[in-house]
Amino acid sequence: MTEAIKKTDLTDISGKYLSFNLLEELYGINVDRILQIIAIPDITPIPKTPEFVKGVINLRGKIIPVIDLRKKFRLPSEDYTDRTSIVIIKVEHEGNEIFIGTIVDKVLEVMDISQEDIENTPKFGIKLDTEFISGMAKVKGKVITLLNINRVLTEEELTTLTNENE
């Protein structure tokens, strides 16, 4: 009975998600937030930025900040491969829509995830920030962490990124 109550309490976040790997873990971003996927171009570093900020790229005349999701999530670093990609996402910040490049290990596929396959983010009993996780989906026998892309970066981090590009 409590399981049914829990599922109805969860905001409906079903829809199409782009799935990708960081290490061997699966993550998903709602396709409504994705502008495009590109191979890793030359990235211009920006001094005095957090370690997870790789720099900026020029995408059709627009300067886009690029973050490494592995570093942001405090995962071990690995060299980029030919499968490493940048997913350009739209994030809302101070009433504006900004674009950010996110480096992922490997883009997999677009998946249609139904609400029945999604569960709440588990509570770990310690102070652990899971605000950037919308839910956990079970698809094809695998668990996919669904990211709330508007919360992956804090307001302070977004302000820093947008100020660096002005």
35-52: burial string, b at 16+ Cβ within 10 Å, e else = eeeeebeebeebeebeeb
Which pLDDT score is estimated for 165? 58
The domain segmentation of the chain, as residue ranges, is 2-164
Which pLDDT score is estimated for 140? 85
Look up the pTM and report it.
0.83
Which pLDDT score is estimated for 132? 82
Backbone phi and psi for residue 145, each to the nearest 5 degrees, phi listed first: -85, 115
117: its two tokens: 């396959």
User: CA–CA separation, 107 vs 89, rounded Å?
Assistant: 14
Which pLDDT score is estimated for 9? 46
Which pLDDT score is estimated for 147? 92
pLDDT tens string for the chain (166 positions)?
Answer: 334 334 444 577 899 999 999 998 999 999 999 999 999 999 999 998 889 999 999 999 999 999 999 999 889 988 999 999 999 999 988 888 899 999 999 999 999 999 999 987 766 554 445 678 888 999 888 999 999 888 888 777 777 777 655 5
Region 2-164: CATH code: 2.40.50.180
Backbone phi and psi for residue 12, each to the nearest 5 degrees, phi listed first: -70, 110
Which pLDDT score is estimated for 52? 93
